[in-house]
Structure 1
């Protein structure tokens, strides 16, 4: 009988995968080198994620959650400062040496998604409110891009 995946272990794996992608990029992601880097077997990864598409989708969701948490920690996020000030602080945060790998990863994901997204693959996507940004990006950068099918919507973080 197969062992049930531990949600805490899956969350730890997702954080490690985000960190790996921040250092190595997404466009050349392969399960074997990822598993080796994590000190795991590909079997461990497939225990927690059915396939590479599910791993990508879960990783994009985790990256999105981490990024939103970082943004909410910026001074003035609660409405005390102008949007311009918050944008400058966000940019300054992204340009800090320790945050550059994640900022590069986010730009890479956006670029890959923009290059893969077309009317045929993503016309019902997140701009229409039918899909979250991470879910759309995961679909667009997947080895087998598909039309958007997820009804979930992840709203942008709100101020105040």
Structure 2
């Protein structure tokens, strides 16, 4: 009598093992794509963070891109940029360009934030007196062209 009971126990164990193995395989089949997708998201996120860190380091290590004619305008422009709570610059000046007809001065800025950098463009239009003023209330700026050297 012990033999049929032993056989049924071993059969039961092998059935349970087989079902567990099939369940594990099914779980792996369905979970693997989700896991690989999550891994891709995490790697893309870390790459984007590293890229943002590198680009902000590159930007902070280099000054703004400015033509030699506009370089003398920089102190005046940078002095008028908004400040953060600590009194430091809230925005980093990336580019300064003058339109071909000299009617507009374009400033490309990048907000210096810990959670991410936001780019801002400011257009200063030349008025009847030759100064460049911003119509954006968030950036009230007035830039006077340097006097022509004689």
Bucket of the pairwise TM-score, normalised by the shorter protein:
under 0.3
- Highest Rg: 1 or 2? 2
Higher strand share: 2
More contact order relative to length (CA 8 Å, sep ≥ 6) = 1
For normalisation by structure 2, the TM-score amounts to 0.20
